[in-house]
Structure 1
Amino acid sequence: MTDIRDLNATAVRDSMDIVSKVQVSDLGRPTPCAGWTLADLLGHMTVQHHGFAAAARGDGADLRHWEFAPAGEDAVERYLAASELVLAAFAEVDDALETEFDLPEFKVDPPRFPAQLAIGFHFIDYVVHAWDVAATLGVPYVLRPELEQDALRVALAVPNADNRLAAGAAFIPALDEPEATGDTENTPALDRVLRYLGRTPDWRPPAEG
């Protein structure tokens, strides 16, 4: 079985490549995340890295690590630095991946998850957010073949419940239930992941003017 940290690192580094294309003039662009500009999205992506890194170090319960701030002109640099921070923190987790992460943004009591599951959450989040940024910029995002089955497995394990309706939820309700996705054999894995996590695969930025 592939180490979830390796899958996550690949997804995060792919997101870094895409975020590196962002210019300051792009920060006001609308994104697939309703009501969020690209600055908002990058701010969220950056703080989530800090929060998960803190959780890996045993300090995730401190809400200061999760405080959101919209990205400024140094958005790309901050995101790249936060990415390296979280990858380094995950690399230090014991290889059994049984360490518990405190993830207070998950509305459960207690909000504590084994590392294997917590890093899986992070992995699928950054597959989807890499696509979010790429779609915002109008550039391609290709889910690597070696990530497809694990991304689909993790995505379909995310409960499609009422908590997706809460303000600030990571994902909105699925556009399709897993059993109602139609011709799944011929539907790209990324499209299935996106639809199950509430994204529209053919989303495009609104026309300007």
Structure 2
Amino acid sequence: MDIQRLDRQALSLTGAVVSRVKTDHMRLATPCADWTMYGLLRHLISQNEGFAASARGMGEPWSVWRDGDIGNDPAGAYEASADEVTTAFAEDDVLERRFALPEVGEGFGVPGRIAIGFHLIDYVVHAWDVAVTIGAPWEPSDELTTAALRIAGLVPDEGRGPGAAFRRRNAVPDDAPPGHRLLALLGRDPSWMPGPC
């Protein structure tokens, strides 16, 4: 699997829905219980910056994963962070480098190929979080959905839950559409709908 190319697809998918976020969406609750839309967008920007730093051997400090600033142009801030992480992920030997992932655990690190896979599934599913909150379409390609399902299926159950990098799995029928199975694997309820403002 060409993980770097697929990750660029995930970033583009998320960017397309982020570009549709309006000022009056920023205070809406999202499927990510801890975040309003503002918090979710800030997380997306922060994660891009954190993964970019980690690709370059500077991912240990928590601050590089939490300093994302959306300013007055959330879509522009997202695109700048997406460009930053895409550039970092394209560097020579990045797939073999050790990425520090302090959100998973202090001192925790994985090879770049695995870290980029984590990034990919995060952005495919966060694209849904944004889309379902604002009533926009979420249409990952079949190739991207298949790749994300493979990666999500490898995330262990240990360490999932509140405050962790990944939520606990939700059950869905075996014949559920692939997108629904992906959402459930990463702790989403595919039937989630935004509540009243």
TM-score, normalised by the number of residues in structure 2: 0.93
Q: Deviations over 1:100-145 (max 9, x none)?
A: 11111112x6311001100000000000000100011111101211
Find the aligned partners of 2:104 and 2:34 in 1 and give their Cα distance.
Answer: 21
How far is the alpha carbon of 1:68 from its aligned partner? 4.7
Contact 2:128 2:138 (C-alpha < 8 Å) held by counterparts: yes
**Compared CA separation, residues 166 and 207, structure 1 to 2 (3 A):** closer
Aligned length: 197
How far is the alpha carbon of 1:159 from its aligned partner? 1.2
Match for 2:160 among 141, 160, 164? 164
Q: Which amino acid aligns with 2:160?
A: R
Match for 1:143 among 135, 140, 144? 140
Find the aligned partners of 1:106 and 1:170 in 2 and give their Cα distance.
Answer: 6
How far is the alpha carbon of 1:29 from its aligned partner? 0.9
Find the aligned partners of 2:34 and 2:109 in 1 and give their Cα distance.
Answer: 29
Q: Which residue in 1 is equivalent to 2:168?
A: 173
How far is the alpha carbon of 1:166 from its aligned partner? 4.1
Match for 2:183 among 194, 203, 208? 194
How far is the alpha carbon of 1:35 from its aligned partner? 3.2
Q: Unaligned stretches of 5+ in structure 1?
A: none
Q: What aligned pairs does 1:7-156 form with structure 2 within 5 A after superposition?
A: 7-68=6-67, 71-94=70-93, 97-107=95-105, 110-156=107-153
Q: What's the % identity of the aligned pairs?
A: 42
Q: Unaligned stretches of 5+ in structure 2?
A: none
How far is the alpha carbon of 1:187 from its aligned partner? 1.8
Find the aligned partners of 1:55 and 1:69 in 2 and give their Cα distance.
Answer: 15
Q: Deviations over 1:162-199 (max 9, x none)?
A: x22242x23221112xxxx43x3x32111001111110
Contact 1:44 1:70 (C-alpha < 8 Å) held by counterparts: no
Contact 2:45 2:69 (C-alpha < 8 Å) held by counterparts: no
Q: Give SS of 1:171's match.
A: coil
Find the aligned partners of 2:13 and 2:21 in 1 and give their Cα distance.
Answer: 14
TM-score, normalised by the number of residues in structure 1: 0.88
**Compared CA separation, residues 69 and 8, structure 1 to 2 (3 A):** closer
Which of 1 and 2 has greater Rg? 1
**Compared CA separation, residues 207 and 166, structure 1 to 2 (3 A):** closer
Q: RMSD between aligned alpha carbons?
A: 1.7
Contact 1:93 1:99 (C-alpha < 8 Å) held by counterparts: no
Find the aligned partners of 2:42 and 2:102 in 1 and give their Cα distance.
Answer: 18
